[in-house]
């Protein structure tokens, strides 16, 4: 059986989110002025997925090549005064040494 769990993101250029029992990356949304990543997980799985996240503001420099990254959308915060653009790396490393490659 799987569940959907949320992970609050820090508004920072780069971060890595560890998702125990990772099955599938679903979305990034704003909830209560926080960026939140949603993922489907299977709590019976022993591995964890490590998801690399890149967040930029409008007009900010992007020093990362985004060829294998998935755009997760532009998200408004503080009544629309801030707009964050979020990408996740399609190559998700698993703690058991495996890898999940998401389609773009």
Give the span between the Cα atoms of 21 and 24, in whole angstroms. 10
- Residues above pLDDT 70, as percent of the chain: 90
Nearest alpha carbon to residue 38 among 80, 9, 78: 9
Whole-model pTM: value is 0.85
Average pLDDT, the chain: 88
Asked if 70 contacts 90 with a C-beta cutoff of 8 angstroms, the reply is: yes
- Expressed as residue numbers, the domain containing 52 is 3-101
- How many separate domains does the chain show? 1
Interval 10-56: pLDDT, tens? 999 999 999 998 889 999 999 999 999 999 999 898 888 899 999 99
Asked if 3 contacts 40 with a C-beta cutoff of 8 angstroms, the reply is: yes
Give the span between the Cα atoms of 101 and 99, in whole angstroms. 6
What is the model's pLDDT at position 104? 44
pLDDT(69) > 70: yes
Using alpha carbons, list the distances in angstroms from residue 10 to 30, 45, 53: 12, 26, 10
């Amino acid at each position: 059986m799987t569940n959907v769990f949320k992970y609050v993101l820090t508004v920072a250029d780069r971060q890595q989110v560890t998702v125990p029992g990772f099955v599938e990356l679903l979305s990034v949304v704003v909830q209560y002025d926080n960026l939140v990543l949603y993922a489907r997980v299977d709590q019976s799985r022993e591995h964890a997925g490590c998801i690399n996240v890149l967040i930029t503001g409008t007009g900010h420099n992007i020093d990362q090549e985004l060829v294998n990254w998935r755009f997760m959308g532009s998200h408004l915060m503080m009544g629309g005064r801030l707009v964050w653009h979020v990408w996740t790396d399609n190559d998700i490393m698993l703690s058991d040494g495996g890898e999940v490659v998401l389609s773009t």
